[in-house]
Structure 1
Amino acid sequence: MHVFLLILSCILILATFIPAVKKDHWTFRVFDYPRFQKLLLCLTVLILWPVIGLDNVILYWTFFILLGFSTVFLMYQVFPFTVFSKKMVQDSKYKGNKMLSVMVINVYQHNDSYQKVINLINEEQPDLFVLVETDQKWADQISHFKSDFPYHIEIPKDNTYGMLFYSKIKVKSHSVRYLVEEDVPSIEVVLDCDELGEVTLFALHPAPPVPSENPQSTERDAEILLVGKMVAKMNSPVLVLGDLNDVGWSYTSELFLKISGMLDPRRGRGMFNTFHAKYFFMRWPLDHIFVSRHFTLQKLKVHRYVGSDHFPISGYFTLDPDNNNKGLKATLSEKLEAKEKIRKA
């Protein structure tokens, strides 16, 4: 038992601090994801050490202190995504007329539970929805929504990077871009929201840093940060949403918030984990809905299982420029770092 605890303690201590190493290789970045799981394991092992004990006093206290430091460090990192932290996006004071509802679903391309997704959209009736990992089969299966969602952009692909955008709100203009990789699209849409005015929306689904896709996070990070720089130049309301293949607490996600001025509605409310839908002990927030300072939040909701490895997520927002939303600010070195990440891609 002592040997097992020593090995587990070493793994947890390393897994806690490896993400602090700013390397793009997947072997470093993979440790960004299970932050809450690492915290629970650190707490468990920290409790077990005094119970099990160790004859070597120096070794015992070395691991106990390092584990304690790891636990505190992880608590500090997780805290913004708990209900005890200050809300980054304030609660809406208004209901009804000025609400904008959006839904994001990574359907998982090989998922054939089409009706589960269709039923959810019918029940929730969002103003717009974005489906990712959509091939032509998915495009065909949901095509009947075109009558209720007359504005649509379809980019079906067989490489798991297809994207479908459907909206009840008038689309004033749109563009499909391949910002970093030639087979990974993104969508930029300008919506004419009547009383809300113009709202710009970016839908993203960059490739993850895994051996079967990209061994480095360079391309993913660059796409996210490129959009962040574009958003930073805008004064009108903006939403950035999609499966970013990154967690909300990662360094890249935080850097995106800093250089763009965007806000994360999960901060101060919870993690809102959307992946992995089939394994409750391995879940983290991969699907995002970021908003500009113009919005307040009515509701953020993770929906039921629809056959995918992701849960759908919806956001219900109100345009309320006179709010107390406060974002993060980028330092000069962080701006230069973002520029360098984009250049590397």
Structure 2
Amino acid sequence: MPPRSTIALVAGGLALASAILPLFPTDFWAIRAPGFVREPAGYLFGGLAVLVAVLVKSHRLIAAAMFIGAAAINFIVVWPYSPFANPQIDLASSHPREQCFTAYAVNVKMKNRDHDRLIEQVRGADPDVLFLTEVDESWANALHPLLGEYPYALTHPQSDTFGKVFASRLPVLNADILESPGENTPSVFALLRASDDKLVQFVGLHPKAPLPGQDTTQRDNSIKSAAEKTNGDVAGAVAMGDFNDVPWSSTTTAFREIGDWKDPRIGRGTYPTFPAFAPALGWPLDQIMVNGQIKVRRFEVLDANGSDHRAVLGELCLDQEITRASENPA
């Protein structure tokens, strides 16, 4: 067999395996990770199928069929997040602005020292609710003037990339940093008074990523358990943050189903957030979801800000005028 044919067959087999194996239930990082890149991988495998059909003489149909099969599987999995699928929720684009608040979330990248660039983006977006991850002491110090502009701010820096900052202009009834035993990846749970008689729960997540030597069990448990922790007396809830997971995975799908969360990406596009320098080749690690009575007026992925993640900004609405605090709670 000519070397070119051997290479095409081996590569086609690996492509097909990378598309199929993440469909099986496992927490092994090397199997779960290819599921992140299904969209760019689908385009790559489709292009390789054409190249194989043109350049390889022996066994080209088999090799090309494997690439086509891999591309097809990836696109089928991602299909709900294409603009050709049915949206899960309608955007409330004509909802009165006085009944809406904005929420911004981004992974600042702990080693990123271009603090001013990201802070400038936050100030430009001027969100009512702010959630930042990978905050260490250096970032906490740099953010101090910005956080002083918010009536409520909760800062929890860590040196292991799992520090958090939460800030709100909506009155905060309580806000906690909760951490499951042995995980060391705290999550933010806050109860906000959005209007005179409507409460909103905010859930901010940043679990561990699937990396060599670090399987997905802790991440999966963190995401799924957060879905069940919303307060039953609220009008609705908002979940944001760097999930270190893509929305079409079995874990984040379970999150949506457990908590009846709605994803505005469904039926509109994947809206990649990582890596920030190449969004056309990226994937959506940073999520925004809502449930209950909360409507989404708009949402967007913002421009690069110095981090390796792009920020997510949402404008979220209820059927009453939004209340904003004028001072820190006692």
Kindly tell me the number of residue pairs found equivalent between the two proteins: 316
Distance 1:119 1:160 in 2: 22
Q: What's the CA shift string for 1:121-166, capped at 9, x where partnerless?
A: 1111111111110011111111112342111111011111000011
Q: 1:182 to 1:218 in 2, by over 3 A?
A: closer
Q: 1:119 to 1:42 in 2, by over 3 A?
A: same
Are positions 1:165 and 2:193 aligned together? no
Distance 1:153 1:234 in 2: 23
Aligned letter for 1:77?
A: V
1:157 aligned counterpart, secondary structure: coil
Q: Quick check: 2:235–2:292 contact (8 Å CA) kept in 1?
A: no
* Alpha-carbon shift at residue 232 of structure 1 (Å): 8.7
Distance 1:282 1:44 in 2: 14
Q: What does 1:152-301 align with in structure 2 at a 5 Å threshold?
A: 152-194=153-195, 197-211=198-212, 215-231=214-230, 236-280=235-279, 282-301=281-300
Are positions 1:108 and 2:109 aligned together? yes
Q: Quick check: 2:201–2:234 contact (8 Å CA) kept in 1?
A: no
Aligned letter for 2:310?
A: F
Compare 164-173 and 189-198 and name the one that shifted more. Answer: 189-198
Of residues 39, 44, 48, the one that matches 1:41 is 44
Please provide the CA RMSD for this pair.
2.0
1:292 aligned counterpart, secondary structure: strand
Q: Quick check: 2:276–2:310 contact (8 Å CA) kept in 1?
A: yes
Aligned letter for 1:72?
A: A
Q: Quick check: 2:147–2:167 contact (8 Å CA) kept in 1?
A: yes
Compare 142-151 and 308-317 and name the one that shifted more. Answer: 142-151
Q: 1:230 to 1:123 in 2, by over 3 A?
A: same
Q: What's the CA shift string for 1:291-344, capped at 9, x where partnerless?
A: 1042222221111222111111111122259xxxxxxxxxxxxxxxxxxxxxxx
Compare 151-160 and 227-236 and name the one that shifted more. Answer: 227-236
Aligned letter for 2:43?
A: L
| Corresponding residue for residue 151 of structure 1 | 152
Compare 61-70 and 26-35 and name the one that shifted more. Answer: 61-70
Compare 1-10 and 11-20 and name the one that shifted more. Answer: 1-10
Q: Quick check: 2:100–2:315 contact (8 Å CA) kept in 1?
A: yes
Q: 1:5 to 1:320 in 2, by over 3 A?
A: farther
Aligned letter for 2:22?
A: P
Of residues 26, 29, 45, the one that matches 2:29 is 26
Q: Quick check: 1:89–1:295 contact (8 Å CA) kept in 2?
A: no
Distance 1:76 1:320 in 2: 37
* Alpha-carbon shift at residue 282 of structure 1 (Å): 4.6
User: Structure 1, unaligned stretches of length 5 or more?
Assistant: 322-345
| Corresponding residue for residue 87 of structure 2 | 87
Aligned letter for 2:149?
A: D
Percent of aligned positions that are identical: 25
Are positions 1:16 and 2:15 aligned together? no
Q: 1:34 to 1:228 in 2, by over 3 A?
A: same
* Alpha-carbon shift at residue 237 of structure 1 (Å): 0.3
Distance 1:83 1:198 in 2: 32
Q: What's the CA shift string for 1:28-57, capped at 9, x where partnerless?
A: 1111111012211221122233323533xx
User: Structure 2, unaligned stretches of length 5 or more?
Assistant: 321-330
Q: Quick check: 2:301–2:311 contact (8 Å CA) kept in 1?
A: yes
Q: Quick check: 2:9–2:62 contact (8 Å CA) kept in 1?
A: no
Q: Quick check: 1:243–1:286 contact (8 Å CA) kept in 2?
A: yes
TM-score normalised by length of structure 2: 0.89
* Alpha-carbon shift at residue 235 of structure 1 (Å): 5.6
Aligned letter for 2:294?
A: F
| Corresponding residue for residue 332 of structure 1 | none
Q: Quick check: 2:273–2:301 contact (8 Å CA) kept in 1?
A: yes
* Alpha-carbon shift at residue 267 of structure 1 (Å): 0.8
